[in-house]
Amino acid sequence: MKPTPPPYPTKGVSLRELRGGHVEIIAWVHDIARDRGGICLTLRDASGVRSFKVPDGTALGEVTRESLIRIKGFLSGDELRINGCEALVRGPKELPVNLSKPPEDPKSFARYSYLLIRSPKYADVLRIQQWIVHYTREFLYNEGFVELLAPMISPCSDPGLRGARKLLTKLYGSDYELMSSVIMFKQAAAASFERVFFVARNVREEPPENIRTGRHLCEFTQIDVEWALKGMFDVMRLCERMIIYVMSKLMESHGDIVHRYNPDIKVPEAPFEVISYDEAVEKLKALGISTPKGKELTQEGERKLSELYDEPIWIVEYPKTSRGFYYMEEPRRAGYNRDFNLILPRGYGEVVDGGEREYRYEKIVERIKEMGEDPSRYGWFLELAKMGIPPSAGFGLGVERFTKYVLGLKYIWEAVPFPKVPGITMSP
């Protein structure tokens, strides 16, 4: 069999590499505007956006924004004399969104994200996200952690959902849950690898009102780390070093892009400040914000607290009634966990949660019952716990929240391709 060319022109040189002389360009029409003495044609491809002056009177045909066009011409400086222009793909008469200024309204953003992905800012965000995840992996690989591919469904998933609901499905008629957290899988794997992590996709039906926080998504990604035979302060130190490594590497390799969107960003210094949950509650009380007894800090409280700081801070020892059954109770202080959250400063709020895990079968069953849950819902995990799981500590870092922080974004749906925003669904 001999190779045959595709039935359409293929791409040669990118806009960025384009030099003067005879040129053949294939690119998207990002914008087209007539001004005095000519046409300003702004083209876009993966290398970026570039504007050309096209002499007045040039026949461009019915070229609309978001047409994919092929131009033959002569380039000198930014003047492009066009000898031939053909639309490989014809753009719509009217674009439903402005790619240079994506909509603030989350419904429009989610609805047209498949188109907005072409907007230069959104594309930059997703490129930076690629490097955030890459440097996170690099750090964890260097620390000897093994990465496993995360499951998508399981007979049982994480219960600690803070008001969100699990999504359900059927496999051969049996009930399965979509992964809302890999916590139980991390604990199982830590028995083998000691140091293990997943880049795990999770899905949860968030209360629709969480759209207002600008930091909740129904589908999100966690860097989910677990370390056997280590304690909470070991993994907190690991997490600090990870965040500092990722941000330092990112500034080294892509600092120009990061600074363009977030001029104020700086790499934090370790160790981060540690305050207890009780101290946090007191601080909020002083601000006139009350925290319901035995519950997580409120969304509002977390945000307010986060505004008090200029560096990330740890909050430790949450009441055990506020978290999932799998946390280890602090033996020195009944009713409180050996657990933590990392709060990003300047209003960005929680980005990491974690702690030490309860690994003793009887204690796990006791905790499940205390939470008013049915132990039979956690069948395979309890079966394993009965055979033995190691003590461990770990954490999950929200990739989209971290991306939002690094780039100083206003809304979390700008920090994920094809976002699922609380309360909003799409028809097929």
Considering only residues 33-72, where is the footprint of a copy of itself by CB under 8 A?
A: 45-46, 66-68
Tell me how far, at minimum, the Cβ of 115 lies from a copy of itself, in Å.
6
Please identify, using beta-carbon distances, which residue of 95 and 287 lies nearer to a copy of itself.
Answer: 95
Among 25, 43, 75, 150, which residue interacts with a copy of itself (rule: CB under 8 A)?
150
Q: Does 171 bind a copy of itself (CB under 8 A)?
A: yes
Alpha-carbon torsion, ordered 422, 198, 127, 71, to 10 deg = -90
Other C-beta atoms closer than 10 Å to the C-beta of 277 total 21
H/E element holding 250? helix 232-261
- The one segment of 72-80, 118-126, 254-262, 284-292 that binds a copy of itself by CB under 8 A: 118-126
Q: How many residues bind a copy of itself (CB under 8 A)?
A: 121
SS3 content of the chain, % helix, strand, coil (to 5): 30, 30, 40
Q: Does 332 bind a copy of itself (CB under 8 A)?
A: yes
Q: Does 153 bind a copy of itself (CB under 8 A)?
A: yes
Considering only residues 283 to 322 of the shown chain, the ones binding a copy of itself according to CB under 8 A are 314, 316
Q: Strands of 195-203's sheet, edge to edge?
A: 146-148, 195-203, 219-228, 392-398, 349-356, 339-344, 313-316, 273-276
SS3 state of residue 128:
helix
Among 53, 81, 118, 363, which residue interacts with a copy of itself (rule: CB under 8 A)?
118
Among 61, 84, 92, 335, which residue interacts with a copy of itself (rule: CB under 8 A)?
92
Considering only residues 398 to 417 of the shown chain, the ones binding a copy of itself according to CB under 8 A are 399, 416-417
Among 82, 167, 243, 343, which residue interacts with a copy of itself (rule: CB under 8 A)?
167
Please identify, using beta-carbon distances, which residue of 345 and 422 lies nearer to a copy of itself.
Answer: 422
Please identify, using beta-carbon distances, which residue of 123 and 244 lies nearer to a copy of itself.
Answer: 123
Please identify, using beta-carbon distances, which residue of 347 and 391 lies nearer to a copy of itself.
Answer: 391
Strands 21-35, 68-76: pairing is: antiparallel
The DSSP result for 255-318, as a single string, is HHHHHHH-TT-----SSPEEEEHHHHHHHHHHTT----TTSPPPHHHHHHHHHT-SS-EEEE--
Q: Does 347 bind a copy of itself (CB under 8 A)?
A: no
Considering only residues 202 to 241 of the shown chain, the ones binding a copy of itself according to CB under 8 A are 202-203, 205, 208, 218-219, 221, 228-234
Considering only residues 353 to 392 of the shown chain, the ones binding a copy of itself according to CB under 8 A are 356, 359, 376-381, 384, 386-391
Q: Does 160 bind a copy of itself (CB under 8 A)?
A: no
Q: Does 142 bind a copy of itself (CB under 8 A)?
A: no
Please, are residues 276 and 282 in contact by the beta-carbon 8 Å criterion? no
Considering only residues 1 to 40 of the shown chain, the ones binding a copy of itself according to CB under 8 A are 1, 3-11, 26, 28
Tell me how far, at minimum, the Cβ of 53 lies from a copy of itself, in Å.
25
Give backbone dihedrals phi and psi of 32, rounded to 5 degrees, phi first: -145, 125
Tell me how far, at minimum, the Cβ of 288 lies from a copy of itself, in Å.
24
Q: Does 88 bind a copy of itself (CB under 8 A)?
A: yes
The Cα 403–Cα 174 span in angstroms is: 37
Among 19, 101, 170, 410, which residue interacts with a copy of itself (rule: CB under 8 A)?
170
Six token digits for residue 421: 């925003």
Please, are residues 336 and 277 in contact by the beta-carbon 8 Å criterion? yes
SS3 state of residue 47:
coil
Nearest to 122 by CA among 100, 106, 137: 100
- The one segment of 48-56, 89-97, 249-257, 293-301 that binds a copy of itself by CB under 8 A: 89-97
The Cα 318–Cα 238 span in angstroms is: 20
Please identify, using beta-carbon distances, which residue of 308 and 384 lies nearer to a copy of itself.
Answer: 384
Considering only residues 242 to 281 of the shown chain, the ones binding a copy of itself according to CB under 8 A are 274-276, 279
The residue whose two tokens read 């080294």 is 252
- The one segment of 72-80, 193-201, 281-289, 342-350 that binds a copy of itself by CB under 8 A: 193-201
The Cα 43–Cα 78 span in angstroms is: 12
